Amino acid sequence: MNDFSQLATNYFAGQAERSAIADQEIAAMKAALLPQLAAHGILTVEIRFDGYADSGAIEQTTLFDAEGKVMECPDIEVTCEGKDAAKLASLLEDFAYEALERHHGGWEINEGAFGELLIDVADASFQLDCNLRFISHDSHSTEL
């Protein structure tokens, strides 16, 4: 195998390993979050994010009860496998950043991306909706 082939093989093996680790971390956070959200009467969580010009941030996290009313985030510590205990609000934010990095790396670069992460506690479902921005142009040159 030539040097480039070995470099490519090593790179892709490293990427696969990093993806597997991220998937494990995401699974652990999901397992820690769902029971805590359910125990505090939270039915839905909406986490909105926006990235632009080489920065990105979680813009807003909103929690809803069974009647669809906005709730305050409980000030509780949540223990997650492989992590130190963290406040629920912080763990929700960490979860969103981890999901974005795993599935939409570079979401904060250049024109960036925006969207939301929806957590349906009753269904134990997590939906990441990401809208990628880009600038494009169409150039033509014709010699006449």
pLDDT at 100: 95
The reported pTM is 0.85
Q: Is the dihedral of CA 27, 103, 107, 59 positive or negative?
A: negative
Whether pLDDT at 62 is above 70: yes
Whether pLDDT at 1 is above 80: no
Residues 47/61, Cβ–Cβ less than 8 Å: yes
pLDDT in tens, 16-41: 788 888 889 999 999 999 999 999 99
Residues 112/52, Cβ–Cβ less than 8 Å: yes
Within 8 A by CB and 6+ apart from 142, the residues are none
